Structures are given as structure tokens and as C-alpha cells.
């Protein structure tokens, strides 16, 4: 998806012109993947742009940094404010937001501790990640031959930049084979998640999603789905899922900030068909929520003009 440029990017406390937001080729993170990031979305609401669960995302950014022992030279509140400012100055009504904390220029080698820590926040307009068709009729999934991280090789709770090579390999494999997206299994053989989304099945009226121990990121959209399901009185459970559970599910869907809530129409060519009723209800409520149309979830929206 080609980037659509905007005016400014926040870099280490300053708003710089989009085309000047550059780094040195010896930036540590470029060589070793030593960074952590977030993916956030701002939506158009009746009170202007609002960032969905902004503070929760920034807290997770700090947690990712803690796991890798990266000291962010700002507070959560400062990054929250800087994020709002970046959306505001670019005059965007809705956009994707990418805060990035990365080890910068000045040191090389595998000891990251002496490296400078840099922070940037970029925003850009980003449409539906898996396509309009996908949102409406579901996406075709392939179980990847690549496994999700073993928790003792790479910590699934962290959104580390380098960890995403694993996702990219799975994505390429799926696309080359003619599918939309990949599903990764844990080293123990359980369903973990997708390349950048959590996964859910619906069986006998109950939503089931894999636990963190299966290597999935604790998704903020996943948590929103949990809350929405609870309020709609739909049973929701975290449990290990087998590959065959996907094939035999009544419904399945995925969730993530970039992807939002997307139905799954087939897994390894086993058809699940058009989106089912539970998937639809969750999806509709989620889209209404992010636009500020559901009163009980108004606190999830952090308005940029307040």
C-alpha cells in the first residue's frame, strides 16, 4: 500500500516536515530490528477526530520497551499528548498512527544498552487494510508453514520491530499462494494469530480466541471485541484452538487496529462462507463504536481537540 504523505512527523519532541523525517544508515534499529512500535487509528466522530484507545496503546508501547530494556525518554502522558498534536497539526479527520521507539545512531554491535533511544510519531491516511471486499465478504486464509514465535525466543507480548520479519514471511507465503492472509501456529501446534491480527472462531454461539500462551499479542481490538461480546451477551472464551477447529468453525473473524474486524470466509480452502450473524454483530458494533456512536464506549475515544 503506497504511503500517502502528510505535512509533519513528530521526531524526538519536534514536528519536522514529512520529507525531512530521516535517519542515518547506521541507525541501530535498521541493522538489528531494535525498536518497538504501536499501530493506532484515529476516527472521524461528530466532535472531530478521536483516537481509539490511545492511552492503552501508549501503555503497551512502554510495556514493549520495558521487555527489551529500552528506556523511553518521555512519559506515557507526553507521548499521548504528542500523538494528539501530530494528528491535529496534520488536519486529519481519520488516520493511522505509528509511534516508533528505536535505537538510534552512535553505537553498533549487539549490546543495545549504550544506544541512544529515539522516538517518532507518524500519521497517514490508511484505508481498509485487507480490502473492502474482505470487510464485507470475508478473507481467505492459509495456515502458514512458518510458526509463531516461541515465547522464549521472542516475547509475544512485545511489539518489537524485528519480530515482524516472521509475520512478513508468513504474509508473503500466503499471498504468493493466492490467499489474503496467513494464520500462524505456535511451536506447540495451537492456533496463535495472524500476521498482524488476532483470530477468533465462533462455535455453538460462543466466541473462542487463543490465549497469550499460544503466542498471540494481547490485542487492544481483541479486548474491545471481548467487551462488546460481553455486553451483547455473547459467550466469549480464551482457549487453545486446533487447526481443525478453524476448518469446522461456524464462523471465524480476525481483529486488529489496521485490519479492524474482518470476517474469515475460508481456511486452507475449507469454506466457512459469508460472514455469520455473530461476526456481523461484533463488526457492526465495533464500527459504530470507533465512530463514537455507541454511548457506553465513549471513553475509548480520546479526542484530539480536547
DSSP letter string, 246-306: HHT-SEEEEEETTTEEEEEEEETTEE--S--HHHHHHHHHHHHHHTT--GGGGGGEEETT-
Instruction: Provide the 3-class DSSP secondary structure of residue 133.
Output: helix
255 strand-pairing partners: 198, 261
Question: Which among 211, 274, 223, 199 has a CA at the least distance from the CA of 53?
Answer: 223
How far apart are CB 163 and ligand PPE at their closest, in Å? 8
| Segment 52 to 111, residues that bind ligand PPE, using CB under 6 A | none
Nearer to ligand PPE, 90 or 198 (CB): 198
- Torsion over CA: 272, 276, 282, 284 (sign): positive
Does 160 bind ligand PPE (CB under 6 A)? Our answer is no
| Segment 237 to 266, residues that bind ligand PPE, using CB under 6 A | 255-258
Nearer to ligand PPE, 47 or 145 (CB): 145
Cα 77 to Cα 55: distance, rounded to the nearest angstrom: 8
252 strand-pairing partners: 201
Cα 146 to Cα 286: distance, rounded to the nearest angstrom: 30
Nearer to ligand PPE, 115 or 225 (CB): 225
How far apart are CB 185 and ligand PPE at their closest, in Å? 14
Q: Which residue is nearest to ligand PPE (CB)?
A: 39
Nearer to ligand PPE, 115 or 246 (CB): 246
Nearer to ligand PPE, 127 or 273 (CB): 127
For residue 139, give the C-alpha cell.
Answer: 478473507
Cα 187 to Cα 203: distance, rounded to the nearest angstrom: 24
Any catalytic annotation for residue 66?
Answer: no
How far apart are CB 124 and ligand PPE at their closest, in Å? 12
How far apart are CB 147 and ligand PPE at their closest, in Å? 13
Catalytic residue among 159, 203, 291, 298: 159
| Segment 179 to 238, residues that bind ligand PPE, using CB under 6 A | 193, 196-198, 217, 219-222
Q: 222 near 214, Cβ under 8 Å?
A: no
**Which residue of 6, 27, 39, 179 would you call a contact of ligand PPE, by CB under 6 A?**
39
How far apart are CB 191 and ligand PPE at their closest, in Å? 13
Nearer to ligand PPE, 159 or 265 (CB): 159
How far apart are CB 113 and ligand PPE at their closest, in Å? 26
Long-range contacts of 85-88 (CB under 8 A, 24+ apart): 85/10, 85/15, 86/8, 86/9, 86/10, 86/15, 86/121, 86/122, 86/123, 87/42, 87/49, 87/51, 87/123, 87/304, 88/49, 88/304, 88/305
- The residues annotated as belonging to the active site are 159
What residues line the site for ligand PPE (CB under 6 A)? 39, 193, 196-198, 217, 219-222, 255-258
Amino acid at each position: 500500500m503506497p504511503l500517502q504523505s502528510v505535512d509533519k512527523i513528530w521526531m524526538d519532541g519536534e514536528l519536522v516536515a514529512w520529507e525531512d523525517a530521516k535517519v542515518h544508515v547506521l541507525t541501530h534499529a535498521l541493522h538489528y530490528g531494535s525498536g518497538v512500535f504501536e499501530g493506532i487509528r484515529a476516527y472521524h466522530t461528530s466532535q472531530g477526530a478521536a483516537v481509539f484507545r490511545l492511552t492503552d496503546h501508549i501503555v503497551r508501547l512502554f510495556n514493549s520497551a520495558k521487555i527489551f530494556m529500552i528506556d523511553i525518554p518521555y512519559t506515557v502522558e507526553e507521548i499521548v499528548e504528542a500523538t494528539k498534536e501530530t494528528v491535529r497539526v496534520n488536519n486529519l479527520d481519520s488516520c493511522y498512527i505509528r509511534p516508533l521507539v528505536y535505537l538510534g545512531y552512535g553505537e553498533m554491535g549487539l549490546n543495545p544498552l549504550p544506544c541512544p533511544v529515539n522516538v517518532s510519531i507518524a500519521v497517514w491516511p490508511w484505508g481498509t487494510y485487507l480490502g473492502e471486499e474482505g470487510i464485507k465478504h470475508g478473507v481467505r486464509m492459509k495456515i502458514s508453514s512458518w510458526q509463531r514465535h516461541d515465547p522464549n525466543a521472542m516475547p509475544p507480548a512485545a511489539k518489537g520491530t524485528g519480530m515482524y520479519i516472521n509475520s512478513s514471511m508468513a504474509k508473503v507465503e500466503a499471498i504468493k499462494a493466492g490467499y489474503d492472509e496467513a494464520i500462524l501456529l505456535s511451536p506447540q501446534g495451537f492456533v496463535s494469530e495472524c500476521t498482524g491480527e488476532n483470530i477468533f472462531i465462533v462455535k455453538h454461539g460462543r466466541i473462542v480466541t487463543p490465549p497469550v500462551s499460544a503466542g498471540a499479542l494481547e490485542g487492544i481490538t481483541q479486548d474491545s471485541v471481548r467487551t462488546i461480546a460481553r455486553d451483547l451477551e455473547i459467550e466469549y472464551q480464551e482457549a487453545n484452538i486446533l487447526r481443525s477447529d478453524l476448518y469446522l468453525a461456524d464462523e471465524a473473524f480476525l481483529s486488529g487496529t489496521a485490519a479492524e474486524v474482518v470476517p474469515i470466509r475460508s481456511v486452507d480452502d475449507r469454506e466457512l462462507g459469508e460472514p455469520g450473524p455473530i461476526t456481523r454483530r461484533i463488526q457492526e458494533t465495533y464500527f459504530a463504536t470507533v465512530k463514537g456512536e455507541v454511548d457506553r464506549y465513549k471513553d475509548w475515544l480520546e479526542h484530539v481537540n480536547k
